[in-house]
Amino acid sequence: MKKLLMLGAPFSSMEIVQKAKGRGWYTIVTDNRPLVVSPVKQAADDYWNISTAETELLEEKCREEGIDAIFTGVSEFNLDRVLMMTRDLDLPCYIDEEAWKFARNKYLFKEKCLEKGVPVVQSYPIPDSNDESSWSQIKYPVVVKPVDGTGNAGLSICNNREELLDGLRKAREFSPNQKIIIERYVIGDETWNYYFVAEGQIRYVYSGRVFRQPGYPTFLYSFGTTAAGGVDEYLSKVNPQCLELLSDVGCKEGTAWIQCIKDEEGNYYALEMALRMSADTTGDTLEKCLGFNTVDWMLDTALGVRHSADMLPQQVERPYTGAHCVYFLFANHSGRVELMRGFDRLDPNLYHVEPIVRVGDHVSQYRLMTKITFFARNAEDMCQSLQYLNETIEIVDTDAESLVIRFTDYDEVRRGHRGLMRE
């Protein structure tokens, strides 16, 4: 029996554990969270109460238990540990180590984009407090973020010098190596463009896009789908350079995605790359609309099962027969969670719920609280599901006020999917 060690319990971790158990693997989950607050630990065959930061202790336990594969979800910190531990234990790894540094460091990724002709947003050097000319070069608004940050941690949108100083301070707090990047702030449609890799061959397969609730910061992606428009334009303008970039950085097996933004003038810019599942995806729902399971693909790679190039999934063609959808519930203000109601009314066969917070937790403004994924046949189906979720579930603070930023821009969802899906 193969043994899989899961580092932490990130997004989609329940599905990963269940998928591995369905293969007959023995599953172990480790982190420093108590069993009572970790449904993923409860679902696994075994669990360890060892922090994922204690790699030496974990490696010793892996040798004792005869672990065959190590896996995690979307945590960059834990992905670092997967690379380190599989290398030390001489185990297969589903991440290409050579390419990892470009996924982990936005500055290195941007330098490689410039080398390969992939368009990127204009960046500015960190201004010198003693050199006024360095400040005069910056044209506001700008985005400030740590080069090694993920999930918008440490990101700020700055409109003046005072905000930029505060943004630099905030970014450094979230950066282990204290390296910051300042870029021109671009508004537009963002897409996540997914590639699968086998035997060094890289194939574009599909794109996903996001929607935001009007009136909130643009980095809050409330709703996302796998039915993105503008794919033909992306494939002609950007994809050839992206394929060359992914090959050049060393992608040989597994999966990768590149996040892009298209501004109001129709210009594409690459923002970052990753060698993992994105936070919005689950394998089973994707399989309904794309015909293949991303979790299965990555579990194979984690165990050392190498896919051949003829096993690569085909590019998804329009009109789309359905879409994987994700609804992120962010906090609209700071507070303590007093009540989470209505979630037990959701059909688990239709809605996959991953709670991030629990009753009693304190949440800061814009913190992600819950992720819900579901399948939709078309845009009207998406809107009906979103409306149902908005009417059914609630997260309330100690003042009996709703904490949820609800996505209600249904007309934009209909517009964004017009002509893309089979009605």
pLDDT at 128: 80
CATH of domain 3-93: 3.40.50.20
pTM across the whole model = 0.91
Distance, in Å, from the CA atom of 396 to the CA atom of 189, rounded to the nearest integer, reads 31
Q: How many residues does the chain have?
A: 423
- Please report, in tens digits, the pLDDT of each residue of the chain (423 residues total): 999 999 998 667 888 899 999 999 999 999 998 988 888 899 999 999 999 999 999 999 999 999 999 999 888 889 999 999 999 999 999 999 999 999 998 889 999 999 999 999 999 998 887 778 888 889 999 999 888 766 667 888 999 999 999 999 988 887 776 788 999 999 999 999 999 999 999 999 999 999 999 999 888 999 999 999 899 999 999 999 999 999 999 999 999 999 999 998 999 999 999 998 777 666 777 888 878 888 899 999 999 998 999 999 999 988 999 999 999 999 999 999 999 999 999 999 999 998 889 999 999 999 999 999 999 999 999 999 999 999 999 999 999 999 999 999 999 999 999 999 886
pLDDT at 101: 93
pLDDT at 151: 62
Q: Tokens in use for 163? A: 């905000």
User: CATH classification of 122-184 is 3.30.1490.20, yes or no?
Assistant: yes
Q: Tokens in use for 378? A: 């078309």
Q: With CA atoms as reference, report the closest residue to 184 among 233, 145, 238.
A: 145
Q: Tokens in use for 263? A: 């501004």
Domain boundaries, the chain: 3-93, 122-184, 188-416
Q: Tokens in use for 121? A: 């947003």
How are strands ordered across the β-sheet holding 26-30? 46-48, 26-30, 3-7, 69-71
Distance, in Å, from the CA atom of 30 to the CA atom of 13, rounded to the nearest integer, reads 12
* Fold match, 3-93 / 188-416: no
Domain 188-416, CATH among 3.30.1510.10, 3.40.50.720, 3.30.470.20, 3.40.980.20? 3.30.470.20
